[in-house]
Structure 1
Amino acid sequence: MHRNFVIRAGRPSDADQLTKLAFLSKAHWGYPKEWLELWEADLTVTPDMIEDSIAFVAETEERIIGFWVRASTDSDKPTRGWLFIHPDHMGQGVARALWSELRKEAAARGIRSFVIEADPNAVSFYLALGAEKIGERESTVIPGRLFPILRVPV
């Protein structure tokens, strides 16, 4: 399959672009503006977060169209991480290509799995990667909203 994007390591200088993409991607799912505002801190990617994580971006013509940033930690508890794809590029293999690179780097660091709190809209994607649901947690900002907790094997 011909890809019209390349995968490269994320850089701290990408933080602002990644934050904008996170908001755009999240808004694609039709969440109310009020929820997006409540999630502002969770959707903000800082240079330090990129520096302290395993980070890869997908880029086309110098524009970032997706990213996967994951805490470089092997833990049974959910760890910080972000996977966001530009809505115009969803379903085109961007997330899988990012996963391939992230997985190689995680394995090289001795990480066996990631435990994540998944957006309900992303659960089917993670299950297709071999994830298993190991629990759920109620949102701290939106009462009654549950997040599935998944273990994604590396």
Structure 2
Amino acid sequence: MRQTVRTVEPVEPVRIRAARPEEAAELSALALRSKAHWGYDEAFMAACVDELTLRPEEVEARRTVVAQAPDGRLLGLATLEGQPPRGELGLMFVDPDAIGGGVGRLLFGHVREAARAAGFARFGWAADPNAVPFYEAMGGRRVGTVPSGSLPGRVLPLMEVGPL
């Protein structure tokens, strides 16, 4: 099921902060809920579990950030991976209840600024086909394709932003 991506500002202030290792399980569950938002079946989702699981020991190394609502709810996450000059947006997911509320825009903007500040010239990512319109609205461009890390035979759009 293809959903329309809205680009509106969040209704309530959302804070972007570094994720904590003890939040890894909650963030993994958020990533799976977000992926399921696109209507994928159970078999597809089962195949994605390993790729979408964030382990406590990976949180800092993957430069994980979260979008947090004033009431403490985690609304999204993103990771900036690799070393300058070229990085990777490893994970970027928004809780289905927050999709279309500007959380993705805030996360992507934060990752872009963090990448620039860390000396990255550009970063790329394998995009879910349903998220391509959002990423294009954020300035991303398709630069090729890449095999899915979860499903043999599935090919994903490869996107990039830069120079930063």
TM-score normalized by the length of structure 1: 0.88
**Residue type matched to 2:15 in 1?**
V
Structure 1 position 127, deviation (Å): 1.0
Any idea what the Cα deviations from partners look like across 1:58-87, whole Å, max 9, x if unmatched?
1121110111112143466x8461111011
What residue number does 1:21 align with?
30
- Answer 1 or 2: which has greater helix percent: 1
Structure 1 position 143, deviation (Å): 4.1
What residue number does 1:135 align with?
144
Matched, 1:81 2:90: yes
Q: How many residues align?
A: 153
Identity of aligned residues (%): 36
| Structure 1 vs Structure 2 CA RMSD | 2.0
What residue number does 1:116 align with?
125
2:97 aligned counterpart, secondary structure? helix
**Residue type matched to 1:26 in 2?**
K
Superposed, 1:24-39 pairs within 5 Å as: 24-39=33-48
Structure 1 stretches of 4+ with a deviation exceeding 6 A read: none
2:51 aligned counterpart, secondary structure? helix
TM-score normalized by the length of structure 2: 0.84
Structure-2 change in CA distance of 1:6 and 1:141 (3 Å): closer
What residue number does 1:69 align with?
79
Structure 1 unaligned spans of 5+: none
**Residue type matched to 1:82 in 2?**
L
CA contact (8 A) 2:51 2:149 kept: no
Any idea what the Cα deviations from partners look like across 1:11-55, whole Å, max 9, x if unmatched?
222211100101111111111110111111101011222111222
